[in-house]
Amino acid sequence: MFGNLFKLKNDIFAFNLKYLFLAGLWPSDKWAIENRFLYKMYEVSLHVLGAIFLIVTGIGTYRSRNDIMALLGSVDKSLAGYNFTAKVIVFLYKRKQLEILITEINHSGDQVSEERKKVMLIHVVFVTGFIISLAGAFSLLAFYNNEMTIEAWMPFDPMTNRMNLLLSMQILMITFTVPCVSRGIAMQGIVCGLVMYVCDQLVDVQERIRALVYTPESERVMREKFKDIIKKHIRLIKYSQTMSEIFKEYFLIQNLAVTVELCLSAFMATITGLEQQSLLASFVAFLCVALLNAFIYCYLGDELIVQSQSIALAAYESTWTSWPPDLQKDLQILIRAAQKPLKLSAGGVADMSMQTYSQTLYNGYSIFAVLNDAVD
């Protein structure tokens, strides 16, 4: 079923890179290189569409400043556009570094199972379908209620008739879905794919360490295998550090967006009445999407920490007691290096881990409790 998709390129991240290419973020694709001018025009047009979304929603949000409910609803929904746009800017700035990293990985000789490639693909397809379906559902609900999906300025009055309202929604969907959602998911796909790759290779290092068996007859072969393991571990440490350097601003933006989303939802929950259930439901839905994305990043970041530390345990569980003294010393160095976990940093402020995710949820509840007491 997925076989043809994996033949897009002879590399580990074939599908993710093709998605980035379609989202106008990967000019290193073969077609883009052969048609530089056309692809550059395509890339710039997506930038323009994203800018149009931010401008018209910004004007619409400003015009609704006297209606607190409409203002909060507009800010909440347009927050996703600002989040994706900020990530795109960071991605474009770090794109060359990312290309160098991916090239190194593709030439490393590491193997990734077809099962893992399917997981990478399914993750992207699921998130794409989920977000577009959610945005489409709220657009249809707003159209049914004769309302705008999000407060936005249009060169015509959207509320004059149903055709104008439908046209305005189509403009918003085009300027939001194509340049914002598709690009955001494409970036998420390559980020998660890289973390999955490093985690899988760390597991491979653990298995290779446990499989080492020393005998006088196989000493030379065993030493070569151990040397390869050390080299691979050092290489994975380098990859992890490079990833953290490339994506630290990306993860910082992600964490800030989730924090703002939690604050808005907490405040909205304290002032929204029963007659405004649909508005509250939209807040909850967008909050769930933000928390889902945060969970994916934090879960993978936590998995990176766990698998990197597990190398020390795998080394200790090996048959090191029968090894020569010099190999035992080398193994001890490996254990010490593995005791320092590999981490993904969010701008140096926090690490991407389940502990950070739990702290975010706790902070959100604390904000809600304070606001609720203040309202009462």
Q: What is residue 347's predicted lDDT score, i.e. its pLDDT?
A: 86
Distance between CA 240 and CA 91 in Å, rounded? 17
Most confident of 53-67, 113-127, 137-151, 227-241: 227-241
Q: What is residue 301's predicted lDDT score, i.e. its pLDDT?
A: 93
Over 80: is that where the pLDDT of 206 sits?
yes
* Whether the predicted model's global pTM rises above the 0.85 cut: yes
Give the pLDDT band (50/70/90) at residue 291.
Answer: confident
- What is residue 228's three-state secondary structure? helix
Provide the 10 A C-beta neighbour count for residue 107. 9
User: What's the mean pLDDT in 268-292?
Assistant: 71
Q: What is residue 90's predicted lDDT score, i.e. its pLDDT?
A: 93
Mean pLDDT in the chain? 85
Distance between CA 39 and CA 230 in Å, rounded? 42
Distance between CA 79 and CA 266 in Å, rounded? 15
Local structure of residue 179 (DSSP, 8 states): I
Provide the 10 A C-beta neighbour count for residue 169. 20
3-state secondary structure 6-68: HHCCCCCCHHHHHHHHHCCCCCCCHHHHHCHHHHHHHHHHHHHHHHHHHHHHHHHHHHCCCCH
Contacts of 104 (CB under 8 A, 6+ apart): 239
Q: What is residue 277's predicted lDDT score, i.e. its pLDDT?
A: 63
Q: What is the pLDDT of residues 342-362, one digit of tens each?
A: 999 988 888 899 998 888 888
- Tally of domains within the chain: 1
Q: What is residue 306's predicted lDDT score, i.e. its pLDDT?
A: 94
Q: What is the pLDDT of residues 77-111, one digit of tens each?
A: 788 888 889 999 999 999 999 999 999 998 888 88
β-sheet bridge partners, residue 351: 345
Contacts of 116 (CB under 8 A, 6+ apart): 196, 197, 200
Range of the domain at 266: 4-375
Q: What is the pLDDT of residues 153-193, one digit of tens each?
A: 888 888 888 888 888 888 888 888 888 888 999 999 999 99
Distance between CA 13 and CA 18 in Å, rounded? 9
